[in-house]
Structures are given as C-alpha cells and as structure tokens.
C-alpha cells in the first residue's frame, strides 16, 4: 500500500509565526486531504488537494503530484491552530491512508 | 444540514462483551469507512463499504465486523471485546468512486476493562 510520511513530528511556535508542514507519499494518488484534529479530538477537513494549490484564509496547501509531496502552510499562527495535522492519501482505492501527523503547539 | 453521526460518543465495557458502535450519515453517500486511532499509529482502516451489501476488510480488521443493510448506516461490531481494542473509533463517508473528499464523524471513545 501507499506509505505516507509527515514532517516534522512536533512543532512549537510563538503566536504570529509562520510554519510549513510536509507530507511525502510513495505512489501516485487521486485523493489527498489535510485534516486538523483539535484538542477535543474532532477531525476537521482543511483541504482536498490531490494536485495544485489552494488557499483558505491563513492556511494554504500545495501538492506536487509528480514529485509525491504536499505542503501545508500556516501563516500568522494563533493558539487555536494548536493540535495535530494529518495528511491522508488514496491511490486507486477509495480508502485513505493516514500519516502519523504533526503535533503543532502555538504558544501565546 | 446533512451530517455524519456516531453513537455512543463514549463507552466503557468489559472484556468478552459484544459491543456495537453506530454510524449514520444523511448525505446518501455510497462509501463508508471505519478507522481506529491509537497513540503513535495515526488512523488505521478497520472495514469499509462501497454500497449496500458490500463490505471489505481493512488493515486492522481482526475482531471486528460490519454489515451494510442500507445506504445510511454502517454499524461496527466488536464480537468479543479485548483490552487491545480500547481506542477512539471514527466513521467516515464519501460520495462514491475514488478521488472524493471523505467526511468524518465526531468519534467514539471506547474503553475495554
């Protein structure tokens, strides 16, 4: 199956700083999603981005499918951005394979 | 609004008991999935279904079963609960085919004593 690696595993920032999270995958994909898991455990869809670039407020994502990686950018981070960020991919099958996540802590 | 719900949200049970976790979606999605989340493992696929009467095993299916009798529901059954099945369980759905956004339920926290 597809392997998914996320980096860094942990990230600590001061409020207002910018950050980049990376997701590498081992095979071609037709689905790539970024999720934020908040401190209450809820999984929130951030982006559906198997290729290209998308932006939503302070967050943006870019997937370079030919090079098998995706980046999630968080600008002007806020304490409410804290939590775990997951990348998940699917190839020809419909079920997602998740990475191990990046634990983000934003300090006030 | 269409949504995906899970019940119960929290459950404590004893080793050896049968437990069923409910998942209900109102989007009329064909695809439904069950994942479990454990510390250090991210989310792993237990079972999935591409439509009514269709069920398939995922990466960690041992000790679990599902049935799909209608479009809206995919209940997950632990036939004989074990302490190793203490976890957070997430249900998800997507419209159909490949390459479509999956939407996740709020999760069920299960503790097996």
Taking chain A (108 residues) in consecutive chunks of 10 residues, what is each chunk's mean pLDDT?
94 97 95 92 92 97 97 97 95 86 96
CA distance B5 to chain A (A): 12
Residues of B with Cβ-Cβ distance to A103 under 8 angstroms: none
pLDDT higher than threshold 70 for residue B38 = yes
Contact A98 B40 (CB under 8 A): no
Tokens representing A89 are 């991919």
B69 vs A60, A89, B27, B55, CA distance in Å? 40, 28, 16, 10
Q: Considering only CA atoms, which of B40, B28, B48, B38 is closest in space to residue B92? A: B48
pLDDT higher than threshold 80 for residue B96 = no
Cα(A84)–Cα(B67) distance, integer angstroms: 31
Which chain A residue is nearest to residue B57, measuring alpha carbons?
A95
Tokens representing A24 are 């590498």
Using an 8 Å Cβ cutoff, are B59 and B45 in contact? Answer: yes
């Amino acid at each position: 199956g597809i392997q998914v690696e996320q980096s860094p595993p942990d990230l600590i920032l001061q409020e207002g700083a910018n950050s980049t999270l990376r997701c590498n995958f081992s095979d071609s994909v037709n689905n790539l999603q970024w999720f934020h898991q908040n401190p209450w455990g809820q999984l929130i869809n951030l982006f559906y981005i198997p290729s290209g670039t998308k932006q939503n407020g302070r967050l943006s994502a870019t997937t370079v499918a030919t090079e098998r990686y995706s980046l999630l950018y968080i600008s002007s981070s806020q304490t409410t951005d804290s939590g775990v960020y997951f990348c998940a991919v699917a190839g020809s099958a419909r079920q997602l394979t998740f990475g191990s996540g990046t634990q983000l802590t934003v300090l006030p | 609004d269409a949504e995906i719900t899970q019940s119960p949200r929290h459950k404590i049970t004893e080793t050896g008991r049968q437990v069923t976790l409910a998942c209900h979606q109102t989007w009329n999605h064909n695809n439904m999935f069950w994942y479990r989340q454990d510390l250090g493992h991210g989310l792993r696929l237990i079972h999935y279904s591409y439509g009514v009467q269709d069920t398939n095993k995922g990466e960690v299916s041992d000790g679990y079963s599902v049935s799909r009798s209608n479009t809206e529901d995919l209940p997950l059954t632990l036939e004989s609960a074990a302490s190793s099945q203490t976890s957070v369980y997430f249900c998800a759905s997507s419209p159909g085919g490949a390459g479509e956004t999956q939407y996740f339920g709020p999760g069920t926290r299960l503790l097996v004593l």
